[in-house]
Amino acid sequence: MSNRRDPSVLHAAITLLGLAVWIPFAIFKLEAGLHGILLIGMVWVVLSSMPLRATLPQVRAAMSDGMDRAMPAMFIFLTIGVVIATFILSGTVGTLIYYGLKFMHPAIFLPAGLILCSVMSLAVGTSWGTVGTGGVVLIGVGAAMGMPLPLVAGMIVSGASFGDKMSPVSDTTNLSALSAETDLYAHIKSMAYTTIPSYIITLFAFSWLGMQFAEKPLPQQELDTLLAGLDATFSINLLTLLPLVVLLYLSARGIIAEAGMLIASLVAAIIAVAMQGHSVSEVISSFYDGAKIETGSAKLDPLLNRGGITEMAWTFTLSFIAISLGAILEHMGFLRVLMDWALKQVERAASVVTCAISGTFLANLLLGESYVSIVLMGQMFKDKFDRIGVDRKVLSRSIEEGGTLMTALIPWTTTGAFYTATLGVATLDYAQWSFLNWINPLMGIAFAWLGLALFRTSRKSGDAPSHEKVTASQ
């Protein structure tokens, strides 16, 4: 039997503080690579585990368990690499960029792009799929229009995050409801109270920013050159959009994300051979190496030479290290001990909601994966919400706000790393423009302190939880 013991509150605080100091220092002061930074952080946590009588086999088992739980998300990395490559070769991306440049004006580009990403993410239930398809197109259109790419990426992330958070077919939406043990649709209705006002503010913000480009003259000669380059490289027609239609349809039918993406990629591969003139060998090679297309345009070529499993390697390996580090923190009890201590200090409902949102963000920061953070915080907080008489649909809403939204703003989480690799914009560059991802968690905290949408249950303390029969009192 293992004789490993839990850390004290002081021990846990010192361990987490060490990470909190080291990671920002290494990123901003040393300007070191994230992989090495997190590896050194992992060594620090392993050394900090030794006084707990933890053995190296236990540390390795913790890392393996973390990777097992994150494997579905890790596999999606590879799948989306294939989607991007085949959607480029089939002309799907090229056609969308072509029509976007032809018909969209800079004044409406940002709000229209936000709505497009929101609707797409609501339909497919995944922000990753939205960013990997629609996001790639919008980055291309924005670049051609002369828009700042961090601003465009922030708009894409805001829209994709909204759909991922609110869609009933989203994995994080279902996971949050499951972790808090509340009804899925009660969870979505609860989120609407804070998310819809946040979304309206975000839409107004991007509309105002878009108007700043209204008077800016379009580089018409450059746009004409890009359009001619696309027209010469691809067969531009609506049939090339079939892979995207297939992806949306399969997602709406509830087909698991990986299967839907691979089927859509197969359709795209067929179109790439039949309509765009690529060889079967070239298409198959693109699954790993990515699309290789030469248009002669310095602006188009970087957008069209992308995708494949190799492009996801940086993201995959970073996520591997971050998740392993997070799993050690979780299994050795560092995060749990600190959160248990914090929960004993608060009894006021608004304080508990604030702790749930900020605690999930902290877990994201340390564990590198929103799925694990959501499950962990749901388990930690549900009894506390019962004791103070706050409905668990407020808990599920809170862990979504601290988890699903904030994970996109952290460079070493699976989501942040994926967005950076896919959009070609550093996480810390687009984060300042991801308005929804900041506004919504702050709105959730503000609502709690104002007593708005702070739904109560009919029982408190040691009574059996009654979160299924709620009284929607404020």
Give tens-digit pLDDT for 144-201: 888 899 999 999 999 999 988 998 767 788 878 888 888 888 898 999 999 999 999 9
Is 77 part of any domain? yes
Is 175 part of any domain? yes
pLDDT at residue 222 greater than cutoff 80: no
Task: Report pLDDT for 346.
Answer: 84
- Going by pLDDT thresholds of 50, 70 and 90, the confidence category of residue 70 is confident
Task: Report pLDDT for 464.
Answer: 41
For 164, other C-beta atoms within 10 Å of its C-beta total 30
Task: Report pLDDT for 203.
Answer: 97
For residues 198 and 437, the answer to whether their CB atoms sit within 8 Å is no
Give tens-digit pLDDT for 303-315: 788 888 888 888 7
Structure tokens at 128: 């990753």
The kind and range of the H/E element at 470 are: strand 470-471
- Going by pLDDT thresholds of 50, 70 and 90, the confidence category of residue 90 is very high
Task: Report pLDDT for 443.
Answer: 96
pLDDT at residue 31 greater than cutoff 60: yes
- Cα–Cα distance for residue pair 137/132, rounded to 1 Å: 9
For residues 457 and 391, the answer to whether their CB atoms sit within 8 Å is yes
- Cα–Cα distance for residue pair 125/320, rounded to 1 Å: 24
- Going by pLDDT thresholds of 50, 70 and 90, the confidence category of residue 472 is very low
Task: Report pLDDT for 16.
Answer: 87
- Cα–Cα distance for residue pair 21/190, rounded to 1 Å: 36
- Going by pLDDT thresholds of 50, 70 and 90, the confidence category of residue 473 is very low
Residues 242-248: contacts with CB within 8 Å, 24+ apart?
242/267, 242/271, 243/86, 243/87, 243/90, 243/92, 243/267, 243/268, 243/271, 244/87, 244/92, 244/96, 244/133, 247/83, 247/124, 247/129, 247/133, 248/120, 248/123, 248/124
Task: Please identify which residue in the block is written with the tokens 């239609």.
Answer: 245
Give tens-digit pLDDT for 396-451: 999 999 999 999 999 988 899 889 988 989 999 999 999 999 999 999 999 999 99
pLDDT at residue 218 greater than cutoff 70: no
Is 381 part of any domain? no
Is 92 part of any domain? yes
pTM of the model: 0.75
Give tens-digit pLDDT for 266-280: 999 999 999 999 999
What is the arithmetic mean of pLDDT over 99-118? 86
Task: Report pLDDT for 219.
Answer: 67
What is the arithmetic mean of pLDDT over 124-147? 83
- Going by pLDDT thresholds of 50, 70 and 90, the confidence category of residue 469 is very low
- Cα–Cα distance for residue pair 239/79, rounded to 1 Å: 23
What range does the domain containing 105 cover? Answer: 69-312
Is 48 part of any domain? no
Is 302 part of any domain? yes
Q: Lowest-pLDDT range, 21-25, 357-361, 413-417, 464-468?
A: 464-468
pLDDT at residue 133 greater than cutoff 90: no
pLDDT at residue 123 greater than cutoff 70: no
- Cα–Cα distance for residue pair 173/126, rounded to 1 Å: 10
pLDDT at residue 462 greater than cutoff 70: no
- Cα–Cα distance for residue pair 410/402, rounded to 1 Å: 12
**Could you give the number of structural domains in the chain?**
1
Is 259 part of any domain? yes
Task: Report pLDDT for 101.
Answer: 77
Q: In terms of pLDDT, which residue wins out, 147 or 255?
A: 147
- 38-52, 221-235, 324-338, 356-370: which is most confident: 38-52
Using a pLDDT cut of 70, give the percent of the chain over it: 94
Q: Lowest-pLDDT range, 97-101, 357-361, 442-446?
A: 97-101
- Going by pLDDT thresholds of 50, 70 and 90, the confidence category of residue 99 is confident
Task: Report pLDDT for 467.
Answer: 42
Task: Report pLDDT for 410.
Answer: 92
Task: Report pLDDT for 458.
Answer: 62
DSSP assignment string, 133-145:
IIIHHHHHHHHHH
Task: Report pLDDT for 1.
Answer: 40
Is 105 part of any domain? yes
pLDDT at residue 61 greater than cutoff 70: yes
